[in-house]
Amino acid sequence: MGFDEIIPALALIAVLILVLPSFIRTNLKKKVFLKNLSIWGIIVLFLMIILYTIY
């Protein structure tokens, strides 16, 4: 694993550390959490389908 893989991984972990506390604070209710999780799941699925068709 070279620097071309380590640096982006560290950047993603840093972003996760910055975003996670506010995400948890705003999603204390189970219904809101599941709604947000489903929205993000749809976005990720859509992006994966687009990237799969391009490549």
pLDDT at 1: 65
Domain range for 45 is 3-54
pLDDT at 22: 87
pLDDT per residue over 9-52, tens digit each? 899 999 999 998 888 888 788 888 889 889 999 999 999 999 89
Q: 3 pLDDT exceeds 80?
A: no
Q: What is the DSSP letter of 2?
A: -
End-to-end CA distance of the chain: 24
pLDDT at 29: 86
Q: Into how many domains does the chain fold?
A: 1
